[in-house]
C-alpha cells in the first residue's frame, strides 16, 4: 500500500501545495513545492524526516515555491538526517541552492541536487519517478544545453559541496566566516527558466503469493528452490522437470500510476493539452493538479481535465479559489484565541474568509464553509466530462491509499487515508468552544471575543492613527514551532506633517520564514495594501536563517503594492545578504532590484571604524574558481567607504534624526541597532527605538552607547534565568540579562521576544531582578500593542501563566511517548 497525503494546501498560512508519498515501510517522498511554512506544517502533523528519500520540486522556480526548503533542510539535518536528495527538471536548482551559501551550512549532510530532464527517471526499490518538463516557449532544450556548455554547473556543484562538507572545516557552523563560499556567481549561471516540472509516478508490481501446497504437489523440495520460484525464476528438478514460477505463484498485482501536474499559469494549458493528448490512461489511478494563482478556472482548464475522463481516475485539484482557507497551524490559532480572550483588542481573529470559483463548484458541487462567497470569471459556466464523484478538492491531510490489483480481473483500488496523527480541521468557533470556554475567562464569550471581532482590524485603525504600534509577527527562536513562528517585529511610527496630515513609517525588524503568511492570516485583505505601502524599511540583524528566510517574500509583496509608485524600499542588512537579494531577484524579477536601496549594517556603525568586506572569488567560464595564489583573501577597500548620500537620503525620506548600529555579541557580522524618529514637522520630538537582535548582554556599545535613553527597547530573551550557562554557550540572553541591559540603557519601556521554542507560556520570571523601565511586555505571535498601552499586559500576567496548562501537558505527553518517525 502507498499513502498520498497532502501536507499543505493553498491557504493564508501556506500558499503552496505539498504532497507526501509514504510506503508501507515508511519511506517518504515529497512532491510539489516547499513553500514557507512547510516544516512548521510537518511539525504540526508530526511528520519527521528520518526516512525522507527524495524531494521532487514542481512548477516554475520562484521563491514562493522553495522559500521553506533551506529551513526544512537544516531541520532535517538537525533531526539526524545524513543525506537529502532534491530533484527538479532544470539545473537552475544548482543556482538556487548556491544563492544560500552565506547562511546555510551543515557538515555531515550529503545534499544531492539532481536535474531530471524531460522523460528522465529516478528509480529505487519503492518508486519510479519520470520527469515531465514543459516550457512556455519552444527553446527550453537549447537553454538548458547552453547553461551546461558554459560549464557553470560544475562550479555551482562545488559551492554546494562546500556548503555541506563531510567534516566540519571550522570551529563554528557559520557560513559567513567561510571565505571559500564568497564567490561571485555570474548571471549567466542561472540556467533555464520559464518551464514547469511535473512527474509520473509508477510503483513496482507485487509478486503473487507462494502456494506451498502446489509446490509440494509438484515435487519441489523446501529450501533454495522455493526461494528461486518466489523470485519469479524457473527451476529444474533432479528428474529434469522444469517448474515455472507462475505454477506456484498467484498472479502479479500492480498499482495504478499517479500524475503530479503543476500548471503555473494559463499560458501553459495549451502545452499540457498537447503533451497529454495521446497519453495512455488505462493504468492511471490518480492525478494531482497543482494550479498556480494565475490559472483561471475556465473552459481551457476543463478541456484539459477531459483528457483524463476515464471512470477509474480520481482527480485532486489545488488552487487558491478551490482549496479551503482552513487554519494550517491550529495550535498557534488556539493560543491566539486564548490570548485574545484576555486582551480582546491586542489580537485579530485569524482570517478564514475565501472567495471560491463559481465555475468549479457549479460543475462539481462540493460542501463549502458556511457563508462562502463565489466569483464567476466567465459569462457561462463550463462543463466537464469528469464525474463529480471523481473530482476532489486538494486539502491538507485528506489523503488516499493505493492498493494493488490484478490487471484485467480487478478494478483499481483507492480509498481515503490519513496519517495516524491527523486531525479534522476545525473552525474558529469550534476551537474557541473546545479550548477557551473551559478556561472560564472572565468577560470572554464566543460573541464578544470572536463574533464581534471577526472583521475587526485592531492594527492601525481609526482610533490609533497617531499611535506608535508594534505587531509581533513571530516571537520564537531557532526554528518554527507549533506555537511560535520565528522572529519578526513590525513597528509603525506615525509622522505628522505641517498641514496635520499623518503618514506612517513602518519598519520590519528581522523576518523569519513565513512572516508574510502571518501577515496575511492576521491582517484583513483589504488592509494589506496599505500596510505594505507604509513599510519603508526592512532591517536584518544577522545571517542566521531564522531571522531572514521570510525577507525575500516580503520584498516581493512590497513591490506588488508599490509597483506603480515612485517609492523605494530601504533594505539594511549585513553585506552578504545583499548578494543573496541581488542574485535571487536576478533570477525571479530583476525589476525589483531597481526599487531597493541597500545599505550595509556596517556603514551605520557609530564612528569611522568600518570593517572591510572580502573580495569575492571569481568563477571562471569553466566553472572553476581559486584564490589564484593569494595566501589570504583580499579585502575590498571600497566597502569601507560609506555611501553618505544614500544614508542622508534615508534620514530625509524616513524623517530620522539618526540610525546607528553596533556589533552584537553573537556571530560574525551580527548587529544591534538604535533609530531615532522625528514625530512631527511641528516640533523636535523624537521617538528612540532600539533592537538587540540576537546577542549576549551588550552593555558598552549598545546599552551605554547607541541605545542610551531609548523610549522602547526590543530585546531578545531566548532563555529563562536558570539557563544562563546555556545562554552563554549559544550567545543569547536570559530574561534577567535583558532586564539588566534595559536598566543600563535607561529604557522607558521593554518588550521581550525571541523565546526558546516549547509552548506559548509566559517565560518563567522567577528570581528576576528589578526592572527600572516603566513598563514590560512579553511578546506573543500576532500581538498588536500600542506603545502607550504596552504595560497593560501586566494586569493579566497571572492569568497568562495559567491559560496554557493544556499545551504544557501535551508537551510532556510527547516527551513521554518519544515520538519517532511516522
DSSP secondary structure string for all residues of 681-712: TTS--EEEEEE--S-S--IIIIIIIITTT-SE
Give the CATH H-level superfamily of domain 430-606+660-819: Ribonuclease Z/Hydroxyacylglutathione hydrolase-like (3.60.15.10)
The pLDDT mean for the chain works out to 92
**Topology match between the domains 2-204+253-323+354-417 and 430-606+660-819:** yes
C-alpha cell at 506: 513602518
**Cα–Cα distance for residue pair 514/36, rounded to 1 Å:** 5
**Over 50: is that where the pLDDT of 145 sits?**
no
Is the pTM here over 0.85, yes or no? yes
Q: Kindly tell me if the per-residue pLDDT of 258 is higher than 90.
A: yes
Quote the pLDDT of residue 818.
Answer: 43
Instruction: Return the bridge partners of 374, or none.
Output: 356
Angstrom CA distances, 670 to 217, 437, 572, 583, 600, stand at 78, 44, 12, 22, 12
User: Taking 80 as the threshold, does the pLDDT of residue 623 lie above it?
Assistant: no
Distance from C-alpha of 393 to C-alpha of 289, rounded to nearest angstrom: 10
Mean pLDDT for the stretch of residues 560-564: 98
Contact, 757 vs 476, CB < 8 A?
yes
Point out the least confidently predicted range of 389-393, 405-409, 678-682.
405-409
* Confidence grade of residue 626 (pLDDT, cut at 50, 70, 90): low
Around Cβ 122, how many Cβ atoms within 10 Å? 18
Nine-digit cell string for 173:
557552523
What is the rounded distance in angstroms from the CA atom of residue 597 to the CA atom of residue 778?
Answer: 33
Neighbours of 526 (CB within 10 A): 9
Please check the confidence at residue 548 and state whether its pLDDT lies above 90: yes
Nearest to 584 by CA among 554, 604, 541: 554
Q: What percent of the chain has pLDDT over 90?
A: 80
Report how far residue 380's alpha carbon sits from residue 743's, in angstroms, rounded to the nearest whole number: 68
Which tens digit of pLDDT belongs to each residue from 771-784? Answer: 999 999 999 999 99
| DSSP state for residue 136 in the 8-state scheme | S
**Can you tell me the mean pLDDT for 356-383?**
92
Distance CA 359, CA 379 (A): 10
Q: Which CATH fold topology does 2-204+253-323+354-417 show?
A: Metallo-beta-lactamase; Chain A (3.60.15)
501: left (phi over 0), alpha (psi -120 to 50) or beta: beta
Nearest by Cα to 393 from 425, 360, 358, 418: 360
CB 266 within 8 A of CB 300: yes
492, 493, 494, 496: CA torsion to nearest 10: -170
Q: Which of 323, 326, 269, 324 is nearest to 299 (CA)?
A: 269
Q: What is the pLDDT of residue 819?
A: 33
Angle 333-326-77 from CA coordinates, rounded to 5°? 70
The reported pLDDT for the residue numbered 138 is 57
Domain boundaries, the chain: 2-204+253-323+354-417, 212-247, 430-606+660-819
Amino acid at each position: 500500500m502507498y499513502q498520498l497525503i497532502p501536507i499543505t494546501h493553498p491557504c493564508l498560512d501556506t500558499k503552496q501545495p505539498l504532497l507526501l508519498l509514504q510506503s508501507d515501510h515508511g519511506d517518504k517522498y515529497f512532491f510539489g513545492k516547499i513553500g514557507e511554512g512547510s516544516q512548521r506544517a510537518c511539525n504540526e502533523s508530526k511528520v519527521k524526516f528520518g526516512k525522507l528519500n527524495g524531494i521532487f520540486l514542481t512548477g516554475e522556480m520562484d521563491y514562493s515555491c522553495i522559500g521553506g526548503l533551506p529551513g526544512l533542510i537544516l531541520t532535517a539535518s538537525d533531526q539526524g538526517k545524513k543525506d537529502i536528495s532534491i530533484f527538479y527538471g532544470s539545473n537552475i536548482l544548482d543556482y538556487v541552492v548556491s544563492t544560500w551559501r552565506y547562511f546555510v551550512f551543515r557538515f555531515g549532510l550529503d545534499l544531492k541536487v539532481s536535474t531530471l530532464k524531460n522523460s528522465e527517471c529516478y528509480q529505487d526499490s519503492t518508486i519510479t519517478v519520470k520527469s515531465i518538463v514543459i516550457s512556455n516557449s519552444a527553446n527550453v532544450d537549447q537553454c538548458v544545453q547552453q547553461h551546461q556548455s558554459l560549464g557553470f554547473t560544475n562550479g555551482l556543484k562545488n559551492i554546494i559541496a562546500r556548503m555541506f562538507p563531510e567534516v566540519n572545516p571550522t570551529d563554528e557552523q557559520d557560513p559567513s566566516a567561510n571565505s571559500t563560499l564568497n564567490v561571485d556567481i555570474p548571471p549567466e549561471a542561472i540556467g533555464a527558466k520559464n518551464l514547469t516540472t511535473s512527474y509520473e509516478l509508477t510503483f513496482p508490481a507485487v509478486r503473487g503469493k507462494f502456494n506451498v501446497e502446489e509446490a509440494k504437489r509438484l515435487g519441489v523440495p523446501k529450501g533454495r528452490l522455493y526461494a528461486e520460484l518466489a523470485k519469479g525464476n524457473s527451476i529444474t528438478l533432479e528428474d529434469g522437470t522444469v517448474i515455472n514460477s507462475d505454477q506456484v505463484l498467484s498472479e502479479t498485482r500492480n498499482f495504478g500510476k499517479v500524475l503530479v501536474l503543476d500548471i503555473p499559469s494559463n499560458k501553459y494549458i495549451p502545452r499540457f493539452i498537447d503533451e497529454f493528448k495521446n497519453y495512455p490512461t488505462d493504468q492511471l489511478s490518480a492525478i494531482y493538479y497543482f494550479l498556480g494563482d494565475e490559472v483561471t478556472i475556465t473552459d481551457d482548464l476543463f478541456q484539459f481535465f477531459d483528457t483524463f475522463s476515464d471512470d477509474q481516475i480520481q482527480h485532486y485539484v489545488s488552487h487558491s479559489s478551490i482549496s479551503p482557507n482552513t487554519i494550517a497551524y491550529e495550535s498557534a490559532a488556539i493560543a491566539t484565541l486564548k490570548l485574545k480572550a484576555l486582551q480582546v483588542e491586542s489580537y485579530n481573529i485569524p482570517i478564514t474568509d475565501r472567495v471560491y470559483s463559481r465555475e468549479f463548484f457549479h460543475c462539481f458541487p462540493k460542501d463549502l464553509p458556511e457563508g462562502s462567497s463565489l466569483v464567476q470569471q466567465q459569462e457561462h459556466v463550463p462543463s466537464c466530462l469528469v464525474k463529480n464523484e471523481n473530482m476532489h478538492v486538494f486539502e491538507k491531510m485528506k489523503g488516499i491509499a493505493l492498493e494493488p490489483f490484478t490487471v484485467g480481473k480487478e478494478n483499481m483500488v483507492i480509498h481515503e487515508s490519513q496519517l495516524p496523527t491527523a486531525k479534522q480541521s476545525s473552525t474558529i468557533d469550534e476551537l474557541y468552544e473546545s479550548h477557551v470556554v473551559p478556561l472560564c475567562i472572565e468577560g470572554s464569550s464566543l460573541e464578544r471575543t470572536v463574533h464581534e471581532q471577526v472583521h475587526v482590524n485592531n492594527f492601525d485603525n481609526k482610533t490609533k492613527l497617531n499611535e506608535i504600534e508594534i505587531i509581533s509577527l513571530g516571537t520564537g527562536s531557532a526554528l518554527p514551532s507549533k506555537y511560535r513562528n520565528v522572529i519578526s517585529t513590525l513597528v509603525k511610527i506615525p509622522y505628522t506633517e505641517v498641514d496635520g496630515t499623518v503618514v506612517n513609517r513602518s519598519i520590519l525588524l528581522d523576518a523569519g520564514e513565513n512572516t508574510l503568511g502571518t501577515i496575511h492570516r492576521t491582517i484583513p485583505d483589504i488592509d494589506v495594501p496599505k500596510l505594505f505601502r507604509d513599510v519603508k524599511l526592512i532591517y536584518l540583524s544577522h545571517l542566521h536563517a531564522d531571522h531572514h528566510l521570510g525577507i525575500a517574500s516580503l520584498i516581493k509583496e512590497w513591490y506588488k503594492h508599490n509597483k506603480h509608485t515612485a517609492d523605494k524600499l530601504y533594505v539594511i542588512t549585513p553585506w552578504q545578504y545583499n548578494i543573496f537579494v541581488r542574485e535571487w531577484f536576478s533570477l525571479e524579477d530583476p525589476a525589483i532590484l531597481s526599487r531597493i536601496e541597500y545599505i550595509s549594517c556596517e556603514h551605520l556603525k557609530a564612528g569611522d571604524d568600518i570593517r572591510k568586506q572580502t573580495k569575492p572569488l571569481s568563477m571562471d567560464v569553466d566553472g572553476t574558481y581559486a584564490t589564484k595564489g593569494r595566501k589570504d583573501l583580499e579585502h575590498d577597500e571600497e566597502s569601507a567607504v560609506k555611501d553618505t548620500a544614500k544614508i542622508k537620503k534615508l534620514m530625509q525620506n524616513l524623517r530620522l534624526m539618526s540610525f546607528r548600529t553596533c556589533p552584537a555579541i553573537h556571530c560574525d557580522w551580527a548587529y544591534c541597532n538604535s533609530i531615532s524618529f522625528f514625530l512631527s514637522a511641528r516640533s523636535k520630538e523624537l521617538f528612540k527605538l532600539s533592537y538587540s537582535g540576537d546577542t549576549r548582554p551588550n552593555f558598552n556599545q549598545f546599552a551605554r552607547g547607541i541605545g542610551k535613553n531609548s523610549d522602547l527597547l526590543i530585546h531578545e530573551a531566548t532563555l529563562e534565568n536558570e539557563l544562563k550557562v546555556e545562554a552563554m554557550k549559544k550567545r543569547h540572553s536570559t530574561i534577567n540579562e535583558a532586564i539588566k541591559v534595559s536598566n543600563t540603557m535607561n529604557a522607558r519601556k521593554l518588550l521581550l521576544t525571541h523565546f526558546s521554542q516549547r509552548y506559548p507560556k509566559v517565560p518563567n520570571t522567577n528570581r528576576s531582578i528589578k526592572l527600572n523601565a516603566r513598563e514590560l511586555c512579553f511578546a506573543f505571535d500576532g500581538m498588536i500593542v500600542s506603545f502607550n498601552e504596552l504595560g497593560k499586559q501586566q494586569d493579566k500576567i497571572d492569568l497568562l501563566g495559567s491559560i496554557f496548562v493544556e499545551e504544557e501537558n501535551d508537551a510532556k505527553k510527547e516527551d513521554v511517548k518519544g515520538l519517532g518517525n511516522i
